[in-house]
Amino acid sequence: MAADVRITFLGGLGDIGRNCAVLETDDRLVLLDCGQLFPDEMSPGADSIYPDFSYLDGRWHQVEAAIVTHAHEDHIGALAHALGEASFPVYGSAFTLGLVRHRLDEGDVLSNTDLRLVTDGETLQVGPFSVEFLPVTHSVPSGLISAITTPQGVVLHSSDFKLDPTPLDGRLTDLPRIAEIAADPGIRLLLCDSTNANSPGATRSETEIGPVLDNVFADNVGRRIITACFASHIHRVIQIVDAALAHDRKVATLGLSMKRNVALARQLGMLTIPEDSIVDIEEVASFADGDVCIVSTGSQAENRSALAMAAGGDSRWVDITANDTVVLSSTPIPGNEAAIARMINNLIERGARVLHSGVLGLHTSGHGNRDELATLHKTARPEWFVPVHGEHQHLVAHIELAQSLGMAAERALLARDGDQVVLADDGLSIEADVVDGLYLYRHGAVVSPNDDPLRDRRILGQEGFVGVVVTVDVEAGEMVGEPLLVARGWMPPDTELELEPELIDDVARAVVGALDDGVTGLDELHRRVRRATGQYVSRATRRRPMIVPVVVSI
Ligand SMILES: [Zn+2]
Ligand SMILES: [Zn+2]
């Protein structure tokens, strides 16, 4: 009997983000990706959201390594936090480790972390597993499929992928090698990206974007061109730069991460820009508009990102004018649509011409559509299948797709965040809810599993707060002075002033009534003040602000 292999999903199966799985056998653990989830309107004020690592409490010393499949934040963004708990080597490609190095430096864990470079096609011993790393195409360079040999056979992890037949760097997904492994020794379990499991057909190749960009430059002679895309999407940046150089423009980067990633890509030989063609953003003003191209971050209109700042008139470097053409080489990530629409409106109000993927074919997804997923399934021919990397709807669609390709229903298992799948001699099974918590929230320097602050911030953001301060002399059974109202964001100040006397009267009556009833406990007085305040606020304004009662005893 071979030892069981357990895979525990700490994130990525329910949200797109915070991808992290723990692979283990015989109490020897390997992390497969370690990413963050970007906060949305449901988590106001959180800086990042990490997987909840409580599954590893008391077991961090058993973590022997982490594999990072590619350089996206939803795969590397929580690594620094995990490495604050324990030190272990991190395996990844040169480009991935280039970005990881920077994130670990920011997190103050770089000096005691061993970064181990992986090259395409290499097989390495990672903790208890022998792992063969295969090239895969995606919207960041140098992604890696992991074929993990375990005591229970090969587990194939697709990483985020599309099957681009003509990738910009010519680095094709190694389907032939996957077919070989499928033939011998066979693939026991496939863990596969589900992001586009609802999208029919196949995605366009990345190299189809270059000609579209080139046309934009041809159509905008004499105008300044400002482009925005993900800073990690080096193949897009290369195509923008190539179009700019072909049209005799100088290139400047805008936004810290763009500057850093372009420098890394140049250093790794992925991106070639002649020295006299790259200029500092400070120098852009000294060139004619038609002679420059600015390559910027902020395609998702992220708060304080370079392009969003420029659109709002808050950029130190770029004043948007009627002679600007702004090119968004991206599509909105779900949840960002409203912010992007606001940014586009701001840009157009300043006179700019704005081109985006809604009007031109300026973007293609990095995640394969159904035809591409089907190709991987047919090539890998796994014995068992668990969809990963998706919201619940994507995971379910991916299971249905696998079944439509002939996989028996009982061999495609739907797991969720916090579940553990167990691969044993007699097959794959799920142990549900092995992990209690799901999310860790970082607020500034503090990381906590508790989401109370987010709930409070949502109420404060929507409704404001109403505080009432009451002073009592419990011994004498008397209220001292009048209750005091402190409110923020509840009503317009004039209305608050108008309502204040009635509210104070109601609260005073409740407190005096309680003291007359012989109530002496401060907790009970708090409750009475809260109830009187809440009832008045609800009756008078039909709102539900946060009620903050304060009872002081002298
Ligand atoms: Zn991802
Ligand atoms: Zn990705």
For residue 161, report the distance from its CA to the centre of ligand 1, in Å: 9
- The answer to whether the 206-355 and 464-553 domains have the same CATH topology is no
Reported confidence tier of residue 334, pLDDT bands at 50, 70, 90: confident
Q: Return the axis-axis angle of helices 392-404 and 370-380, rounded to nearest 10°.
A: 60
Residue 69's SS3 state is coil
Centre of ligand 2 from the C-alpha of residue 47, in Å: 20
More reliable by pLDDT, 335 or 494: 494
> Would strands 20-25 and 5-11 be described as parallel, antiparallel, or unpaired?
antiparallel
pLDDT in tens, 40-53: 888 999 999 999 99
Distance 17 CA to ligand 2 centre (A): 9
Tell how far the Cα of 75 is from the centroid of ligand 1, in angstroms.
Answer: 6
Cβ–Cβ < 8 Å for 178, 379 = yes
How many whole angstroms from 434 Cα to the centroid of ligand 1?
23
Residue 68 has pLDDT above 90, yes or no: yes
Contacts of 521 (CB under 8 A, 6+ apart): none
Cα 407 to averaged position of ligand 1 atoms, centre (Å): 25
pLDDT at 40: 85
Distance 334 CA to ligand 1 centre (A): 14
Kindly give the distance from the C-alpha atom of residue 520 to the centroid of ligand 2, in angstroms, as a whole number.
60
Ligand 2 mean position, distance from CA 524 (Å): 53
CATH C-level class of 464-553: alpha beta
Provide the token pair at 521.
């406990």
β-pairing verdict for 187-193 and 143-150? unpaired
At residue 335, the pLDDT reads 84
Distance 512 CA to ligand 2 centre (A): 62
pLDDT at 41: 83
353 CA to middle of ligand 2, Å? 30
CA 395 to ligand 1 center in whole angstroms:
14
User: What residue segments make up the domains of the chain, in order of their start?
Assistant: 5-201+365-448, 206-355, 464-553
Beta-carbon count within 10 A of 348 CB: 14
The bound ligand whose nearest atom lies closest to the alpha carbon of 195 is 1
- pLDDT band at residue 507 using 50, 70 and 90 as cut-offs: very high
CA 385 to ligand 2 centroid distance, Å: 20
How far is the centre of ligand 1, averaged over its atoms, from the C-alpha of 17 (Å)? Answer: 6
The reported pLDDT for the residue numbered 287 is 97
DSSP 432-477: TT-SS--EEEEETTEEES--HHHHHHHHHHHH-EEEEEEEEETTTT
Q: Is-contact 469 484, C-beta < 8 A?
A: yes
Rounded to 5°, the CA angle 168-173-174 comes to: 140
pTM, two decimal places: 0.94
| pLDDT bucket at 437, cuts 50 / 70 / 90 | confident
Q: Is the pLDDT of residue 151 over 90?
A: yes
Q: What is the pLDDT of residue 436?
A: 85
**Given pLDDT bands bounded at 50, 70 and 90, which one contains residue 202?**
very high
CB 426 within 8 A of CB 20: no
State how far the alpha carbon of 320 is from the alpha carbons of 256, 348, 353, in Å. 19, 9, 10
* CATH for the stretch 206-355: 3.40.50.10710
- Distance in Å, CA 33 to ligand 1 centroid: 10
CA of 79 to the centre of ligand 2 (A): 15
- Tens of pLDDT, residues 238-273: 999 999 999 999 999 999 999 999 999 999 999 999
Topology (CATH) of 5-201+365-448:
Metallo-beta-lactamase; Chain A (3.60.15)
C-alpha of residue 439 to centroid of ligand 2, in Å: 20
Query: What confidence tens digit (pLDDT) does each residue in 128-143 have?
Result: 999 999 999 999 999 9
> Which pLDDT tens digit goes with each residue over 450-484?
999 999 999 999 999 999 999 999 999 999 999 99
How large is the C-alpha radius of gyration of the chain?
Answer: 28
CA 491 – ligand 1 centroid, Å: 43
SS3 letters across 176-194: HHHHHHHHCCCEEEEEEEC
The number of beta carbons lying within 10 Å of the beta carbon of residue 201 is: 10
Q: How far is the CA of 171 from the centre of ligand 2 (A)?
A: 16
Q: Which ligand is nearest to the CA of 144?
A: 2
What's the 468 CA to ligand 1 centre distance in angstroms? Answer: 47
